[in-house]
Structure 1
Amino acid sequence: MVQTSNPHHHHNNDHKTLVLKSAIYSRILLISLIIFFRTLASPYDTSASLNPPCLTTTVAATPNNTHRSPIASAIENGIVWDSVYFVRSAQCGYEYEQSYAFLPLLPLSISFLSPSILSSLLPQRSLFALSAYLINNLAFVLAALYFYRLSIAILKDPEIALRATVLFCFNPASIFYSSIYSESLYAVLSLGGLYYFVSGKNNLSVLLLALSGCARSNGVLNAGYICFQTMHRGYHALFHNKNVTLALQIAVVGALRSICIFAPFVAFQAYGYYNMCVGRFPDERRPWCNARIPLLYNYIQSHYWNVGFLRYFQLKQLPNFLLASPILSLAFYSVVHYAKSRPQIFYSLGFDTTIEEKSCGVVFLSEDLLRSKVAGTVEKSSVRAEAEKSCLTKWFLRKANTQTELKNPGQTGPSAI
């Protein structure tokens, strides 16, 4: 009996090495380009020089007139735009109202991980900025590895997963992942959480997805995956198993997990309300403090930066839309292509599909349903492995049929393999 090796396992180590190299090389290339272009021209934003002393802490910011080494100056010149808020929050805490638009995971990471061994060589602000660069670039490398593993789990195609990951490493918005922004931390936590989610490790998944809400406000949208899974599992328990108790249990667990993902963002809004509103005289209270739902984040975005629903859709933003049109067109085409190729799944949100199809997306299924799919009583890990093996087998058969059909048109099916 001839045993065929699994290409997924055969290429797994080689692909991971390529992913790791792509992520590291892309960061080196990007940082080199940043340094090169900054030597040619000054940054458009000049906020790096804005560094008044801290208001309420004992830590003092570096005065503008203090002599800094060329290395420190080069590092601090990269503190522009939103980076100013992240570094200042790490250094001085949340002093100003608009600072609360920037969630605390990156500032806390900078504060905790700043190498004190360099404190005698660099000013504190330069040290915090250097730490932020290291944190974000390391987080991006980890995000690329999770992106590849997640792509393998969903696509069941190592080659496509590798290509997608390389494109992720060299994506057009890559500079945000290497600058002092929160995108890298958000990416690694979201992609890691989704990978463990599709792997069935829901508790670890919820923890990472909740932490993503500490990095960026849109982390709360990751609760949608939990809601979607709960919807499918509850539907199956109620209408297929006729088990009301199980359906209620699934709904309660899904709700609790979703609340956990929302909790960090809500807690930070409560923290802002306590600092900015509680204990102040009525004439000192900001307008949002008296709202029925005092949501600081929405007020800041609207009041300081005019961010709101459809406000970005202005004629003056047309160049930005044209710049984004290739990626938007590709995303739109992908959705349309999937809808045309699998309309039954697309338009029914996955409800109107077979058990075999659902077993390939174990996100939707409970372990009880997977047990009913596999003969005999086995452990959870064995059930999931069996479902995964079945999906991989189907994928290899489809790929072999496609390759054979390209070589010998008209000859398909098992006989052609």
Structure 2
Amino acid sequence: MHRAYDALFIRKNPFLTFRVLISGFLRCLFVFVPFVAFQAYGYYNLCAGHDPDKLRPWCRAKIPLLYNFIQSHYWGVGFLRYFQLKQLPNFLLASPILSIALCSVVHYVKLQPQVFFSLGFQADAKPASFLKTQTSTVSREVQALRRRKRSEQEVAPTVLSTDNVSIEKVDRFSIILVPFVLHLGFMVATAFFVMHVQVATRFLSSSPPIYWFASYVLASHKGWGYLIWGYCAAYILIGSLLFSNFYPFT
């Protein structure tokens, strides 16, 4: 959508807009066709042509979804259905990864609220100028360092200034990150309110913003950084033992 918006309103190129929309439609088609085909296959084999009195409840639904019925009926998956007192240990088990994921989303929202809440369509012009200025500053310092190395045989170690250039600010100013952050927010909400929460670590570990935020914390806050290191080490060591013995540590 951002590419279509850029092509139509910024570049004012209808032909490019059409190409972007067609390309996006085909990509969505490749994503949804297998899902629809699986549902149709299940309905054809389990519902079509069978005795109406023996049909499973999902066959009579307005939108028959096989896997949704399995999750809801056999596994108890559903909105707030896991909010039970006996599931409190599982919520505590998932609290570290949920906290890191939620903090990464909140941190980005604090940095770029306008970009986040407008879904990237109202990006401020400040980030672009900031990136340009800071990138040119780094480039000049690198070039000066290279010239100094060529002119002197022995050069004292030179450290580029990190006061003017914040990797965290530079990276997160880009609107390219908005889809990743929105997607992570949706995944966090789904894991907490709908899913079996103990699989949140496995579910959320595929999202890049978690690692970006964890890296930022490790580099800028030693206390919290050590805590993240300790959690990761415990997850690898203790988690491997618990999971291999069929405990819900995923």
If the length of structure 2 is used for normalisation, what is the TM-score?
0.49
